[in-house]
Copies of this chain bind each other. A is one copy, B any other.
């Protein structure tokens, strides 16, 4: 990449990133809600996972990533199985609170440090956080296709 900007130049501040992320999470919550309970657990295209599995993965990545960046302790969010749309939504809202509580405590310099998340994913903390958000946007978009295939209008992508 040819771009070289000083390490002090800001594209996004940590506060802006949290706002961005929570905006995405608000939209993803609406996509989860748009599914009928049954299809949330079972509907699939092309052998892909049902949206329950994708949404459970998001729950297991978001708060644990924030917690891990803050404390360097890596653990799954939910040890028990997530089995329903109601389960996911409950954990979703708890996650929102946890993120808003923990994120501001992370020193800004930490985001530029090399870390190993969950004992295996190596990279700068900022890049690993971006990966979690990208993963959510990616799977949420697959939820959009599932909803369309089910004849259900998903919430507009641009509403956060």
A→B interface (CB under 8 Å):
1-20, 22, 24, 45-48, 100-101, 103-104, 108, 111-112, 126-127, 130-131, 134-135, 137-142, 144-151, 157-158
B15 contacts A12, C-beta separation under 8 Å: no
Set B10, B14, B147, B158: member contacting A108, Cβ < 8 A: B10
Beyond the given A2-B101, A145-B146, could you list 8 further A-B residue pairs with CB under 8 A, ordered by the A residue number? Answer: A3-B103, A3-B104, A9-B14, A10-B108, A20-B127, A46-B151, A137-B141, A145-B145
B11:A108 contact, CB within 8 angstroms:
yes
Known: A9-B108, A10-B108, A45-B145. A134 touches B137 (CB 8 A): yes
Distance between Cα atoms of A8 and B144 in the complex (Å): 37
* A20: contacting residue among B7, B104, B130, CB under 8 A: B130
Task: Specify which of B13, B127, B148, B151 is in contact with A7 (CB 8 Å cutoff).
Answer: B13
Q: Residues of B contacting A147 with CB < 8 Å? A: 46
Contact B5 A14 (CB under 8 A): yes
